[in-house]
């Protein structure tokens, strides 16, 4: 029983700590960094470049998300086995609400990895290309950069919404 307790403590701590980092980081980006960088326009470019390229914030947040989801899946599997079957687990209110939270977190991670990160990488490449060209940048390239930034911002807001659903589900699951 002690080994089982340590197992659960380790995975629960990993799940919670990495989840706090992931959700808090995404919240900070969506609520403060993106709007500030947008308001600064080209003057915000060096800050955004530092944050995304050198500090590798998107990669860091995705890794925190993977740790959160990985530890969460281990905890989910443990609870499912304790319930006797997947049907019994998902059939309980507690299991159903945690399942909603798990699905929301998985969707957030998938969207971050498949849309947000590639869009940010493309925006950085376009920004570097425009900066290297000097002079007046071609209008079509500027339009492409704005479209990519807009897609990253919309997807980031969606990721944050999914993470809020996940946090609310997991924080309240035992009370349903």
- Report the chain's C-alpha Rg in angstroms: 20
How does the average pLDDT of the chain come out, rounded?
94
Quick one: average pLDDT of 12-38?
A: 97
Other C-beta atoms lying within 10 Å of the C-beta of residue 148: 20
- Measured CA to CA, the distance from residue 59 to residue 61 in angstroms comes to 5
Quick one: average pLDDT of 37-53?
A: 90
Distances (CA, A) of 101 to 106, 111, 137: 9, 15, 45
Q: Residue 42 — very low, low, confident or very high, per pLDDT cuts 50/70/90?
A: confident
């Amino acid at each position: 029983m002690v080994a089982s307790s340590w197992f659960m403590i380790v995975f629960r701590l990993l799940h919670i700590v990495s989840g706090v980092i992931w959700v808090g980081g995404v919240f900070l980006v969506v609520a403060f960094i993106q709007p500030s960088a947008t308001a600064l326009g080209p003057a915000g470019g060096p800050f955004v470049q530092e944050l995304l390229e050198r500090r590798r914030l998107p990669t860091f947040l995705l890794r925190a998300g993977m740790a959160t989801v990985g530890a969460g899946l281990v905890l989910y599997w443990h609870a499912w086995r304790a319930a006797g079957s997947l049907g019994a687990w998902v059939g309980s209110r507690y299991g159903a609400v945690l399942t909603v939270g798990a699905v929301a977190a998985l969707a957030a991670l998938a969207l971050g990895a498949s849309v947000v990160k590639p869009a940010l990488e493309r925006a950085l490449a376009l920004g570097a290309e425009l900066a290297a060209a000097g002079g007046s940048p071609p209008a079509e390239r500027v339009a492409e950069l704005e479209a990519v930034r807009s897609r990253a911002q919309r997807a980031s807001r969606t990721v944050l919404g999914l993470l809020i659903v996940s946090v609310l589900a997991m924080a309240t699951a035992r009370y349903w």
